[in-house]
Amino acid sequence: MKKTILYSVLAFVLFFSTSAIQNNNNECDIRTIKNECLRSLKPDYLYDSYKATRFLYTNAEQVMEIEAPLFKDEKYRFIFNIAGLPKDIEVKFFDKKKGAKDRKQLYSLTKEEGKNIYIFEPEVSKKIYLNYIIPRTTQQNLSGCMVSVIGYHLTTE
């Protein structure tokens, strides 16, 4: 009898813990989130690359900086899908690395209610720096993901 109760409790815990893990992974379905971004490239831009970034929210604010080298004289489009984020983050573009003199902010993603896809088209094609600012939280094991897609405009002269 004790073994039956023990196995029942163990099966119950195992079932609910795997359900919670599966629900968390469904929120970060990279392929679906990426495909939504790809629709925003058409008809003027061609796909270049994508980056899926997973975030783990902690007790302290975090800043992640990603360098994006762009070819000179090309026109680019950055598309962000924040559908996989349980808590908003800040996304900012800069012309220089963190800590550089005369660093200028080129773009800042401003969250709009009910909107998950955001587009940024830099005016100048050169190396730019993307910053993700992840806010602090007291919630345990809070994580999410964001997908960014880069497209370029094919110019023929």
Per residue in 79-117, pLDDT tens?
999 999 998 899 999 999 999 999 999 999 888 888 999
Check residue 156 and give its pLDDT. 61
In residues, how long is the chain? 157
CB distance 41 to 113 below 8 Å = no
In the numeric block, the tokens 């099966």 are attached to: 11
pLDDT band for position 22 (cuts 50, 70, 90): very low
Per residue in 34-84, pLDDT tens?
999 999 998 889 999 999 999 999 999 999 999 988 888 889 999 999 999
Q: pTM for this one?
A: 0.75
Domain ranges of the chain: 30-153
What whole-number distance in Å separates Cα of residue 56 and Cα of residue 60?
Answer: 11
Q: Which comes out higher in pLDDT, residue 10 or 149?
A: 149
CATH architecture of 30-153: Sandwich (2.60)
